[in-house]
Amino acid sequence: FRAWIPINNSNIHGYNGTFDGGEHTVSSLYFNNINTKYVGLFGNVASSGKVANVGVIDTYFNGYSYIGGVVGNNSGTVSGCYNTSTVMGSMNGGGFNTSDYIGGVVGYNSGTVSDCYNNGSVSGSVSIGGVVGYNSGIVSGCYNIGNISGDSRIGGVVGYNNNYISDDSPAIVTGCYNNGNVSGSLYVGGIVGNNRDIV
């Protein structure tokens, strides 16, 4: 493992460029700080940002919120990416009573995630998904074959599907499937744990 600082892990300035991995992989990254948000290969991708065609393998990411194997928080476009690593959220005992928005590929998505998959272990407390933890955008053509676990709103593809900001732009999950193990105590589903929009 090599110590990793996520690219653009600020909630103020997300990555707004275009990264195309050309079907290559990134491996042996290590991040373990349970006081930190926006963790992944990229911590935060802005609405104009694009991340494509890269796999994250043999890697360990542990934070407490907005954690993804490829992107922690996505407002832009993530396509053709995959994760085969351990992605988890941990409560830090400092007043944060949940570890939420944890996904194998993207932790929190308000943009578009397409043609991505997860074959890693994903765990946390609330809004935990094999591909996306919390989706308020579009997730299409994605699948999960990894082990997903948590407490509430746990889904094989998406943990929580809900656009609470705009009724004119619903959260959508389409053309996806799950063949992994999914476990939790409340709102648990093979595709979506808790759905309040369109699946």
CA angle, corner 121, sides to 119 and 14, nearest 5? 85
Q: Is the CA virtual torsion 90, 68, 165, 163 positive or negative?
A: negative
Q: List, for residues 98-144, the tens digit of each pLDDT value.
A: 679 999 999 999 999 999 999 999 999 999 999 999 999 999 999 99
Q: List, for residues 35-86, the tens digit of each pLDDT value.
A: 889 999 999 999 999 999 999 999 999 998 999 999 999 999 999 999 999 9
Stated pTM of the model = 0.94
- Cα torsion 177, 179, 180, 183 to 10°: value is 70
